[in-house]
Amino acid sequence: MTRVFITGAAGFIGSNLADRLLAEGKQVVAWDNFCTGQEEFIATARRHPGYTLVRGDNLDAPALTKAMAGCDMVFHLAANADVRFGLNHPERDLQQNTIATFNVLEAMRANEIKRIAFSSTGSVYGETEQIPTPENAPFPIQTSLYAASKVACEGLIQAYCEGYGFEGTIFRFVSILGERYTHGHIFDFYKQLREHPDHLRVLGDGTARKSYLHVGDCVEALLHTVGEGLAAKASNRVAIFNLGTSEHCAVRDSIGWICARMGVAPRLDFAGGQRGWVGDNPFIFLDTARILATGWKPKLTIQQGVERTVDWLKANEWIFQSRA
């Protein structure tokens, strides 16, 4: 029986992953500080006999080490994901991403756990000229504190694989959406239209292209590559996979899908310019040939993913109250 430790287990992706692991008969030790995690996301999982919730913070190394005891592998998903306002509090990415990941790796070492899967980001490619971007694109220059911290985490994991015999799988995600999605463009658009269906403020000029993946397809990819021991079979101790769909959309497209699903026809107020904020990538579009070659493929298109996200937000009005 596999016993899986998940950091950020009450978050968007973590809670979806936990549900799926429980359904497969795995045991889950769920670790979360509930800083952005939601009690409601784990309400069902907590009733499962294979689920153990431990409340704690990755910066509390002794508690983290204790909680991890007896686990076989770690999905390290907890992170500061506030990319946009990173410049207002530069210490946050360092602490919650870089130092937190170091603590996770040290807790694993203390517990003799060697397998880790890590959620990195397509933002690590900065403003690469190679689009779609493969995993071995030219050594990029970082454009945000968030991506810089994720690169730092990747490097730590890689060095632990080389130095301590860890087996790591690093996933560079596009934006994920779907059930329990509570931040990012689609969420912001929905939230605005829910409050004032007659107009929508849009950062940039609406032409920015975006790449999204549905959380169900994301979780499937994590389990397909890590769960099947693919990382262990690879020639390197560390496997790196881009994770996304082979399509992209413009911000205007996603606005159209959201409005149609909500039955609204707002006036669009564009702030102008090509990007939303300093450090915002104008376009992340990943070459996913490597993970497609493992047999995984996404089941939903971007449009379907956006529509399911809108449906979930409609059915979960409480999310707007709890975050008010």
Per CB under 8 A, does 276 bind a copy of itself? Answer: no
For the CB of residue 98, give the shortest distance to a copy of itself in the complex, in Å: 6
Give yes or no for a contact between 217 and 298, defined as CB atoms under 8 angstroms apart: yes
For the CB of residue 163, give the shortest distance to a copy of itself in the complex, in Å: 5
For the CB of residue 177, give the shortest distance to a copy of itself in the complex, in Å: 25
Whether the bond into 132 is cis, omega within 30 of 0: yes
Give yes or no for a contact between 268 and 206, defined as CB atoms under 8 angstroms apart: yes
Pairing mode of beta strands 249-250, 209-210: antiparallel
Per CB under 8 A, does 238 bind a copy of itself? Answer: yes
Out of 2, 65, 143, 301, the only residue in the binding site for a copy of itself (CB under 8 A) is 143
Instruction: Please tell me the count of residues contacting a copy of itself according to CB under 8 A.
Output: 43
Per CB under 8 A, does 100 bind a copy of itself? Answer: no
Give yes or no for a contact between 167 and 116, defined as CB atoms under 8 angstroms apart: yes
Out of 14, 86, 216, 305, the only residue in the binding site for a copy of itself (CB under 8 A) is 86
Per CB under 8 A, does 278 bind a copy of itself? Answer: yes
Neighbours of 4 (CB within 10 A): 25
**What whole-number distance in Å separates Cα of residue 226 and Cα of residue 168?**
9
Nearest-CA neighbor of 204 among 267, 252, 276?
276
For the CB of residue 27, give the shortest distance to a copy of itself in the complex, in Å: 29
DSSP per-residue string spanning 176-189: EESTT--SSHHHHH
As beta bridge partners, residue 202 has: 270
Give yes or no for a contact between 218 and 173, defined as CB atoms under 8 angstroms apart: yes
Tokens at residue 168, please?
């790591």
What sign results for the dihedral spanned by CA atoms 10, 324, 79, 68?
negative
Q: Which residue number, 6 or 151, has a Cβ lying nearer to a copy of itself?
A: 151
Site for a copy of itself in 149-178 (CB under 8 A): 149, 151-152, 154-156, 158-160, 162-164
Out of 135, 188, 205, 307, the only residue in the binding site for a copy of itself (CB under 8 A) is 135
Per CB under 8 A, does 305 bind a copy of itself? Answer: no
Per CB under 8 A, does 147 bind a copy of itself? Answer: yes
Under the rule (CB under 8 A), what is the footprint of a copy of itself? Answer: 86-87, 90-91, 94, 98-99, 102, 105-106, 124-126, 135-145, 147-149, 151-152, 154-156, 158-160, 162-164, 236, 238, 240, 278-279
